[in-house]
Structure 1
Amino acid sequence: MDTPARPPGELHGDAATVVLLREGRAGVEALLLERPGHRGSFAGAWVFPGGHVDPGDYRGETAGRRGRGAAASEGEPDVEAAARRAGVRETDEETGLRPDAGELVPLSVWVPPVEAPKRLRTWFFLARSPEGDIALSPDEHVDHRWIAPAEALERHGRGGMSLVVPTWVTLRGLLGARSVGHALGEAASGERAVFHSRRIEEPSGREVIAWAGDAAYDVGPGGSPGGSPGAAAARHRLDITSLPWVFERSATPLLRQHPADD
């Protein structure tokens, strides 16, 4: 029997991503894994460890009243707890490193554009990397690299490293981190960011990914920008028309979010 088609825009499930950090010679480094170039999701891209939230990652918990960001309402399954377990499991399977689920710091939640062929809501966590050697899963990745966020962005900008949008934005948000402890503390003290992505092709031919707070995302009655009088100039977007990508934001950096960004 054929599987019924999902309604346009429906989410296909949840996933978890773990951004492992360590102290490098020149500052904070993040672990990136290279996907095979000939098959699978994000072919050829460098990504953080992670994967699907499986049914076995749910263990009967329900969310309480004090959830943050994209947390479930009271009485609903606690997706964040399941995502934590999925993140630990996937990181272990893909790298041989196993962070402690309780030490994962919530960072962001990413919801793909409605036209994406596979829409997985993805929960991003920061964690200090455990000690140990990297042991890649050969079916999942072909290489790995500990790299400073600035270097990864520079390589991507000149076409030497393929990054997907959430990875790029996350690395950019880590640029100001003075140490792993500083990055974890900043993430823990702020509100988790929720990125409902919208792909927009502008009349000029430029292609951008926009999020809440951008004039092209928050469109009011009659097609005018919503929000405050200055909303027409508001920016919260990534211009992906050509390399290097250009990020524009009228508010605070990724690691210091406010509830209004959700």
Structure 2
Amino acid sequence: MAGNGPAPKAAVEARPASTVVLLRDSSDGLETLLLKRNKALLFAGGAWVFPGGALEPADWQAAGDDVEGAARQAAAREAAEETGLCPAPQSMIQISHWTTPLSEGKRFSTWIYAAPCPENCDVVIDGSEIHEARWISVQAALQQHHDGTLAVLPPTYITLCDIARYPTVAALLASGESRQPPQVFPRPARHEGQVLVMFRGDSGYESGDGSLPGPRHRAVLEGSRWRYIHDGVAAEFPPLTGA
């Protein structure tokens, strides 16, 4: 006899996507371009993000069906469409790769790249999906997020924390030779009324129980700001921020 209750739903397949962190040097240190999404959008409405989106057939064609090459092409294309800037795919270094949790109804397998900003180009946004664009120092972006005035999602927040340790664009790009981009599979949960996202190495990651004692590898939403915690975690699970 069949068990009680409906059968569990199969996870939605993650769609390939990519994001590019555009960078430039300034007197205030490393700067990045952030875009504010339309508040009316169902996904990340009102949040500040980096340019990016799903891979399209033209990206696969340009890369000869190589998925990593197609991801670079998509990152460049999305940057051009959303900002008017055209970073060269070959100038990008991969920072990380994030896969949307299995529990989500819309999932993406996202390559996150960093690239120098093309010179002598003005930022142009569409005013529809993207309502605002701003160059901001990475340190200022983190401070404004901590102050509750800059809304970002965990991948954006952790990426900002990661690149904040580099003083210049050149220093960050040079790290590409030794960088091992982490494969990130976040797992959402709640604990003591707080929203949190656990990463591999957290004591509650496998079970999904954020209350379990032990190592902490998670981002916790405190009010409107995220706080990244990496405490007591085994060496095989290094910090996503590189610290």
TM-score range, shorter chain: 0.7 to 0.9
The number of equivalent residue pairs is 227
Letter in 1 for 2:198: A
User: Which residue in 1 is equivalent to 2:34?
Assistant: 32
Gaps of 5+ in 2: 1-8, 232-236
> How far apart in 2 are the matches of 1:168 and 1:187?
20
- Go from structure 1 to structure 2 and tell me whether the alpha carbon gap of 1:89 and 1:255 turns closer, same or farther (over 3 Å shift): same
Q: How much does 1:181 deviate?
A: 1.1
Q: How much does 1:139 deviate?
A: 2.5
> How far apart in 1 are the matches of 2:58 and 2:169?
31
CA deviations on 1:129-163 (whole Å, 9 max, x unpaired) are 11111111223211111111221122122221111
CA RMSD across the alignment: 2.4
CA deviations on 1:90-141 (whole Å, 9 max, x unpaired) are 1011111111111110111111122222101111001011111111122321
- Go from structure 1 to structure 2 and tell me whether the alpha carbon gap of 1:141 and 1:233 turns closer, same or farther (over 3 Å shift): same
Contact 2:63 2:73 in 1 (8 A): no
> How far apart in 2 are the matches of 1:176 and 1:187?
14
Q: How much does 1:255 deviate?
A: 5.8
TM-score (norm 2): 0.85
User: Which residue in 2 is equivalent to 1:138?
Assistant: 127
Gaps of 5+ in 1: 1-6, 63-76, 220-224, 226-231, 258-262
Q: Which structure has more strand as a fraction of its residues?
A: 2
Q: SS of the residue aligned with 1:56?
A: helix
Contact 2:14 2:100 in 1 (8 A): no
> How far apart in 2 are the matches of 1:242 and 1:143?
24
Contact 1:186 1:256 in 2 (8 A): no
1:196 aligns with 2:196: no
TM-score (norm 1): 0.79
User: Which residue in 1 is equivalent to 2:66?
Assistant: 78
Report the identity percentage: 33
